[in-house]
Amino acid sequence: MKTAENHRTTPETRERVDLPVSGMTCAACSRAIELALAAAPGVERASVNLATNTATVEYDGARIGVRDLVSAIEDLGYGVPPSEVRSDAEVPAQRRQLAVAVLFTAPVVWLGMMHWAPWLQLALSLPVIFYAGAGFYRAAWKALRHGSANMNSLVSLGTGAAFLYSVYATLRGAHEVYFEAAATIIALILLGRLLEARARGQAGDAIRRLLELAPATARVVRDGKEIEIGAAEVSPSDIVAVRPGERIPCDGKIVDGHSSVDESMLTGESIPVEKDVESAVFAGSINRAGSFRYQATRVGRGTMLERMIELVKQAQGSRAPVARLADVVSGYFTLGVLIAAAITLAAWLFFAPFPQAMVNAVAVLIIACPCALGLATPTAIMVATGRGAARGILFRGGEALEAAHRIDCVVLDKTGTITTGKPEVTMVAPAPGFSESELLGLAASAERHSEHPLGKAVVEAAAARGIGLEEAGDWSAQAGYGVRARVNGREVVVSRPGIQVTVDGRLAGEIEVADTLKPEAAEAVGALRRLGLEVWMLTGDRRQTAERIARSAGIEHVLAEVLPEGKVDAVRKLQAEGKRVAMVGDGINDAPALAQADLGIAMGTGTDIAIEAGGVTLMRNDLNGVAEAIELSRSTMRVIRQNLFWAFGYNTVGIPVAAFGLLSPMLAAAAMALSSVSVVTNSLRLRAR
């Protein structure tokens, strides 16, 4: 195997894999796996997500393979099951273990309260310890063999100590036994894990809903007949037929027919979109009205839906920078707890008999399990990215989600972001002796063969007003000036920009053509300002024109007459003033500025959006999504801080309370289970935003 010194990773050999991991129970587990993977030769980056039970590894395929990565995980005592096995088998197994634990623990607790029948308590405890709790002991033993410790180590030590002491006391004929404590702790922790698994399942609903959108079959036209095939068998250029009520199986462009299509699952926009010939359609969307045929352009993993799913998976498996604190703490936490438990045991032996000292030490071990710590950040990210996807807001990862909450300045590129990107006639001002319709008719007749956007806008305005056009002779275009033509024997000159029209050398009037504001622009800018953000407009327009558009949108700050290559410098200038800048653009022409900004937000248009351009992509071409993305980020960071406060505070308070003998092991187990469930439940509140 080549060493790092004589081998450099190339784009051709760089690979990425998401591995499902079973057996993780706390932050110490995920941290141990992450460190082991990161230390493997050829691994460039490793991230382990406790909430999704997934290890994401970027590695050099020329130096290490997936089998080696799996072995590194399995050597630590964890499993790497097939994805379909993980979701189907773990929860039923947990239910069976919990059922056995509850069935046998209930009589043990009753007998323990009565101080009756230690031998019967021992017999009833055996299924709980050696079946329901077997997973704890196996995992703890594997961790010990590799010189590490985790939540399983703490639970195993605590319940094992209580059980073994009780067996010893029973053999000696004593009645002061703690079988009920050992059994109850296992039952409560299993209950907590099951509730936690169910809550985590709700947090991962976003991906499951996306996966369910793609239909299994497609109706394609072959030899003039419609035949049904598997959606995976559709090839680019195939003609696909879609009937009312059916889901679209792959991306493409309509060649025949028209309809209205529900694209809410992709864009978050609830109003169906009208589709006609040449309109783009996307896999997973629902055909609501008419029938149509379209030519497939992207199939399988290349569709917009699959790209969305992959982006959401990456985001949910990523780690926000705020999680690093929990990572560092969890690396030392379990060892610290073991030391604290040993000190508790030793200290109490000076004041109380061994049974009491042992009970207090067990309480310390149980209350300190770092489950909530490991779930605090990833569960919130899972829910937030899923919620964002449902609203057509795609975060590239935890870094982008966290960065958005720090933004205090938003720079909006004008064309295509604040405005429609399509020039329209906004004013017709005829000179004396000419009417509006005559002026517009003459100008449109002269411009009818022009390819210039301003000329096309004049022609479209005349058509919209029902003004007929005349044939234009002696037509000529003058670069940077306009067009000249003879209309009905009169020489018509249309000068651009700032359209002026002359007829036989006499000024006939002016026509104003402008890029009009999007309908939601003013509302969206208002939402950004209510969030306390400073809003700037960036444009290449002349300052006078730019300031007029900015005023219409409610924007106070304008960067005008900026050339395309100057956009990056404009963003840098604002950053140099100490501002944390979000740049909002179309994601293609603005890519360098999006990359330079603290957060790049690419506006989608319902077509082939540039997902790579920024940290956030808005699937619908709606400026309101910018405020929604930032507000979602702020809410997510609030929830993460609440989760971390609860997780740290719980352990900070719980350990000394247990050490001073004020908390029984059973209450400690209940509190520990509650802490994990409460963190996940708190994260689930983000779904309602």
In tens, the pLDDT along 273-332 reads: 888 898 889 888 899 888 899 999 988 878 888 877 777 777 666 666 776 666 666 667
Distance separating alpha carbons of residues 240 and 234, to the nearest angstrom: 8
Residue 381 in contact with residue 320, Cβ under 8 Å? Answer: yes
CA distance 300 to 93: 34
Give the integer Cα–Cα distance in Å for 60 and 57: 10
pLDDT of 203 strictly over 70? no
Residue 219, token pair as written in the block: 């109706």
Beta carbons of 371 and 606 less than 8 angstroms apart: no
More confident residue, 444 or 426: 444
**Over 60: is that where the pLDDT of 607 sits?**
no
Specify burial of residue 246 (Cβ count, 10 A radius: 0-12, 13-18, 19+).
middle
Q: Name beta bridge partners: 623.
A: none
Cα–Cα dist 213/431, whole Å: 58
In three state form, how does the secondary structure of 85-112 look?
HHHHHHHHHHHHHHHHHHHHHHHHHHHH
The answer to pTM > 0.85 is: no
Q: Which residues contact 515 (CB under 8 A, 6 or more apart)?
A: 414, 415, 419, 420, 421, 422, 423, 424, 549
**3-state class (DSSP) for residue 252:** strand
Give me the mean pLDDT over the 21-48 stretch.
84
Q: Identity (one letter) of the amino acid at 618?
A: L
Q: Is 609 helix (H, G, I), strand (E, B) or coil?
A: coil
pLDDT in tens, 495-533: 876 688 888 888 988 888 877 888 889 999 999 999 999
Chain centroid offset of residue 418 CA = 25
Tokens of 475: 């037509």
660 pLDDT above the threshold of 60? yes
Kindly indicate the confidence band of residue 69, based on its pLDDT and cuts at 50, 70 and 90: very high
Instruction: Read off the pLDDT of residues 527-551 as tens digits, 9 standing for 90 and up.
Output: 999 999 999 999 877 788 788 889 9
Q: How far is C-alpha 237 from the chain's CA centre?
A: 32
Query: Does 68 participate in catalysis according to the annotation?
Result: no
At 103 the pLDDT is 94
Nearest CA among 122, 78, 97 for reference residue 188: 97
Cis peptide before 92 (omega within 30 of 0): no
Task: Report the DSSP beta bridge partners of residue 502.
Answer: 493, 507
Summarised one tens digit per residue, pLDDT across range 549-562 is 899 899 989 998 88
Measured CA to CA, the distance from residue 626 to residue 616 in angstroms comes to: 9
645 CB contacts (<8 Å, ≥6 apart)?
none
Rounded to 5 degrees, φ, ψ at 248 are -80, 130
Alpha helices in 318-431 (DSSP H): 324-348, 354-367, 371-390, 398-404
pLDDT at 205 over 70: no
What is the longest distance spanned by two Cα atoms in the chain? 123
Question: Any idea which residue has 């839906």 for tokens?
Answer: 305
User: Residue 218 carries which DSSP code?
Assistant: E
End-to-end Cα spacing for the chain: 51
CA distance 265 to 594: 26
CA distance 87 to 201: 9
What pLDDT is attached to residue 12?
63
Active-site entry in 262, 327, 413, 586: 413
Secondary structure of residue 447 in the 3-state scheme: helix
d(CA 333, CA 328): 9
Q: How far apart are CA 506 and CA 503, in angstroms?
A: 5
Contacts of 293 by beta carbon, 8 Å cutoff, 6+ apart: 221, 239, 240, 241, 242, 254, 255, 256, 257
Q: What is the mean pLDDT of the chain?
A: 83
Is residue 609's pLDDT more than 60? no
From the list 176, 93, 667, 615, the residue with the least C-alpha distance to 385 is 615
* Distance separating alpha carbons of residues 16 and 37, to the nearest angstrom: 13
What are the C-alpha distances in Å from 316 to residues 121, 231, 399, 472, 511?
Answer: 45, 27, 11, 60, 52
CA distance 245 to 242: 9
* pLDDT score at 104: 94
Residue pointed to by tokens 């005023």: 551
Instruction: Give per-residue pLDDT as tens, 107-139.
Output: 998 988 888 899 999 999 999 999 998 988 888
Determine the Cα–Cα distance for residues 210 and 33; give it in Å rounded to an integer: 29
pLDDT (tens digit, 9 = 90+) per residue, 345-366? 999 999 888 888 988 888 888 8
Dist. CA 259–CA 246, nearest whole Å: 12
Can you say whether the dihedral through the CA atoms of 374, 377, 379, 385 is positive or negative?
negative
| Cα distance between residue 554 and residue 663, in whole Å | 59
Q: Give 640 or 28, the one with higher predicted confidence.
A: 640
Helix (H) or strand (E) holding 495: strand 490-495
Q: Indicate if the pLDDT at residue 9 is higher than 50.
A: yes
Region 409-420: mean pLDDT is: 87
Distance CA(335)–CA(220), nearest Å, equals: 62
Is residue 180 scored above 80 in pLDDT? yes
pLDDT of residue 191: 81
CA separation for the pair 472, 459 (Å, rounded): 13
